[in-house]
Structures are given as C-alpha cells and as structure tokens.
C-alpha cells in the first residue's frame, strides 16, 4: 500500500484515514479498495456532493438541463466553465482509459461491502462554482477559461506515471502555491473553503473509524482544519456580484445619452447626431455579430446579434448573447441526443459539433463581442465632439 498517500489521524473520539487520490488514476482505485478492506471502517466519506454523486452513479448529468433558462438567467459563462472543467477531466480519463471519479465509486462499493455508512463530504458543486465565479476577477476568469480551452485545442496525452507523480505531496504543495499566485480567488473557493467544509463533514460523521477519500490536493488543508469545528453556513451562501460591475452597466446608457446630447447641443447638427448613431450601431453590431460568427451561429443568429447589440448595450438587464442564444436555440433546436452527448465531448471541436454547447458558445461569444463593441464605440463617439 502506498502509505505516502494515506494519512492516519487520531483524535479524542475518532480514528481517521485520509486517502489522497487523483481523480483519473487506476492506482487510486486500488489504494481506496485496499485501505477500506484492510481497516473495515464504520464510515466511508467521499469527496462528492449530492449532484456529483448522482452524476457518477446515475450517469444523468445534462439531460435535464434547460438550455433556454441558462441563457435567460445569464449563466452562460458559468455553465461553460463547468462544462470545460468536466470535458478537460474526461479527456485525461480517456487518455488513461479510466472514468473520472472511478476511485469514488470504488470507495462507495467497498464501503457498502464492509457495511460502512457512506457520507458525502463535499459542498454542492453549483454553490462552489457560483462562489468561485462571483469571487474571481475578470483577469482570473479569462486565465481560467483560456487555460482550459488551450488544453482542449492542443491536447497532450497525459501519462499515468505523470498522474501518479502529481499525488506526491511536494508537487501538490507547489501546484497549490502556483494556483494561489495565478488565481488567488479561485484557490480560496475551490481549495481553501472546501478544505474547511470537508474537514467539518468528517468531524460530524458518525463512527469511531472513518476512511475519507479526497483529492490529494486537499490532504494538507483538511489535516489542518480537523483540529476544530468551523461554522460552514457562510460557505454555503452565494455572495452578491461586485457593485462596480453594476455601476458600469448602468452608467453606459447615461454616458451614451450624454455624448449624443452634448454633440447635438454643442454643434447644433442633426447630421452629426445621425453619424454618431450610425457608428454606434455599426461598431456594436459588427463586433457582436463577429462573436456569433466565431461560434458558427446560424446566419439568422448572426443577424440577430448585429441588430440586438446596439440596443442591449444600453439595457443593463439583457445582453446581446441572450438574444442570439435564444435565436440559435429556436433555429437549431437541441435534440435529446445532443444533451446525452455532452458527456462525450473531449475536444474543443466537440463544442461546435454539439448543438447545446454551440448555443452556449454563441451566447458567450456574442456577449464578449458586444462588450468590446461598447467600449470601442464610446471613445470613438467622443472623438466627434
């Protein structure tokens, strides 16, 4: 047994075995099975929440998804990040010929065989992703999305020896430090908060002997927080978005009206006003429709992005991506097969082939194009006055 991936901790009333795993490792599956069979614990805890448990056991991850609801609620980027993470992990698992999360499934099977109580230790995945997305700065979101996309566009086979090396504590510590430097807000939510949450769930679990199967990157943090219980209620709440983002969104129509109004009053020229409005429409429309084009949207979707962007840029409650995404969903309505096949996407090209993921790309890219168009158009309009 690879003892360097197992931590044996004795507390006053509990004996805890922390088993550090890689989520796409055959060796982790063997290790989990071996430690549970040997120790015969009262309780087996796994790093899963209810949703992820259902995903692994029932194989029904995306079928019940309401694509139009995601678009209307403005959750396109959040869902895309979730999908990209899932696809990235699945691609590595495909390289190694093992299903992601296989060690968690094995822990549950071995635990039941040993008549142990099964406990889900992790925070709801949706709360974690929403908290991370809310906390992350724009620069961090861009880095995360770019890194995931780059990994799919230029896939490199991940060898199993590399996966096993990544479970070494020194390498894990180094990786956590690098993540903290590059994406501090993401590390705080994805790693630090979940260390606290999982440690608390272990302390609350019944039984004197507990085997907890968690990702190797969480071992050190969980050990630290096993010393005392924490109030985890604040960690289950989703923080409000940054106020400055709302201020910017609501200030854009005021700035636009101010520029147009000042230009008309100062120059007393209807022709200048028409020229400024024309450029506003063209810059916004072209860049927004370019986003829809890059997502390979339907021609009518691209046209709708062009028409909608100049108006939605002045309305903080709706984005051009919502309009374009809904049009794309109407014209190229996803089939049941498309929802089912979301689980099969392993490359970035696959996002374009699947109707569901392409709708998400249309909505996201259109919004990005429209945002760029707004911040290009406003300074350009100022140049006229």
pLDDT tens for residues 183-214? 788 888 888 999 999 999 999 999 999 999 99
Residue 259 and residue 222 share a domain:
no
Regarding whether 229 and 82 lie in a shared domain, the answer is: yes
Tell whether 290 and 192 lie within a shared domain.
no
Q: Pairing mode, if any, of strands 209-215 and 6-10?
A: unpaired
Question: Looking at the structure, do residues 203 and 278 belong to the same domain, yes or no?
Answer: no
- Report in angstroms the alpha-carbon separations of 330 from 64, 308, 351, 366: 18, 16, 18, 16
Provide CB contacts within 8 A for 278, sequence distance 6+: none
This prediction's pTM: 0.67
Q: Are residues 309 and 183 in the same domain?
A: no
The percent of residues above 90 in pLDDT, for the chain, comes to: 42
Answer yes or no: do 40 and 126 share one domain: yes
Q: Which of 236, 271, 296 is the last residue of a domain?
A: 236
Residues 186 and 258 in one domain: no
199 and 118 within one domain = yes
**What rounded mean pLDDT belongs to the chain?**
81
Q: Which residues of 257-284 are buried (b: 16+ CB within 10 A; e: fewer)?
A: eebbeebeeeeeeeebbeebeebbbebb
- pLDDT class for 82, splitting at 50, 70, 90? low
CB 236 within 8 A of CB 50: no
Residue that terminates a domain, selected from 220, 236, 252: 236
Give the tokens for residue 239. 């923080």
Assess whether 231 and 263 both reside in one domain: no
Domain that holds residue 266: 243-382
Specify the length of the chain in residues.
Answer: 385
Number of domains comprising the chain: 2
What are the angstrom distances between the C-alpha of 120 and each of 50, 141, 344, 379? 7, 29, 26, 53
CB atoms near residue 110 (< 10 Å): 21
pLDDT in tens, 70-80: 777 766 666 66
Displacement of CA 252 from its chain's centroid (Å): 28
Quick one: 169 and 275 in the same domain?
no
Whether residue 322 sits in one domain with residue 214: no
What's the pLDDT tens digit per position in 365-379? 999 999 999 999 999
Q: How far is CA 152 from CA 23, 127, 147, 155, 350, in A?
A: 18, 25, 9, 5, 10
For the ranges 13-27, 72-86, 210-224, 343-357, the one whose mean pLDDT is highest: 210-224
Domain final residue, candidates 191, 216, 236: 236
CA 307 to chain centre: 30
Average pLDDT over residues 271-288: 95
Same domain for 175 and 54 = yes
More confident site: 340 or 213: 213
Residue 138's pLDDT band, with cuts at 50, 70 and 90, is: confident
**pLDDT given at position 264:** 85
């Amino acid at each position: 047994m690879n003892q360097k991936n197992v931590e044996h901790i004795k507390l006053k009333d509990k004996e805890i075995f922390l088993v550090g795993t890689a989520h796409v490792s055959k060796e982790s599956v063997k290790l989990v099975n071996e430690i549970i069979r040997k120790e015969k614990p009262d309780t087996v805890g796994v790093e899963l929440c209810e949703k992820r448990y259902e995903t692994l056991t029932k194989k029904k991850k995306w079928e019940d998804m309401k694509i139009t609801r995601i678009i209307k609620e403005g959750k396109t980027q959040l869902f895309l990040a979730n999908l990209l993470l899932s696809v990235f992990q699945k691609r590595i698992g495909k390289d190694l010929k093992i299903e992601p999360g296989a060690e968690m499934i094995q822990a549950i099977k071995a635990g039941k065989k040993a008549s142990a109580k099964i406990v889900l230790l992790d925070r709801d995945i949706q709360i974690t992703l929403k908290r991370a997305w809310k906390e992350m700065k724009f620069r961090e979101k861009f880095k995360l999305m770019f890194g995931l996309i780059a990994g799919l566009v230029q896939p490199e086979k991940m060898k199993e020896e590399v996966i096993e090396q990544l479970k070494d504590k020194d390498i894990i510590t180094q990786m956590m430090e690098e993540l903290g430097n590059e994406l501090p807000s993401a590390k705080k939510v994805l790693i630090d908060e979940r260390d606290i949450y999982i440690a608390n769930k272990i302390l609350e679990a019944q039984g004197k002997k507990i085997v907890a199967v968690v990702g190797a990157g969480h071992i050190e943090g969980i050990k630290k927080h096993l010393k005392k219980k924490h109030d985890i209620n604040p960690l289950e709440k989703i923080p409000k978005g940054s106020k400055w983002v709302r201020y910017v969104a609501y200030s854009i129509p005021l700035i636009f009206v101010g520029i147009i109004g000042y230009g008309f009053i100062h120059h007393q020229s209807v022709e200048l006003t028409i020229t400024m409005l024309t450029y506003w429409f063209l810059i916004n429309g072209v860049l927004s429709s370019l986003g829809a084009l890059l997502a390979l949207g339907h021609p009518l979707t691209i046209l709708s992005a062009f028409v909608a962007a100049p108006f939605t840029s002045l309305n903080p409650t709706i984005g051009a991506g919502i309009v374009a995404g809904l049009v794309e969903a109407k014209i190229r309505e996803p089939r049941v097969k498309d929802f089912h096949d979301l689980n099969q996407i392993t490359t970035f090209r696959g996002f374009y082939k699947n109707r569901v993921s392409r709708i998400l790309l249309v909505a996201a890219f259109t919004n990005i194009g429209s945002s760029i168009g707004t911040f290009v158009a406003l300074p350009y309009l100022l140049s006229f006055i």
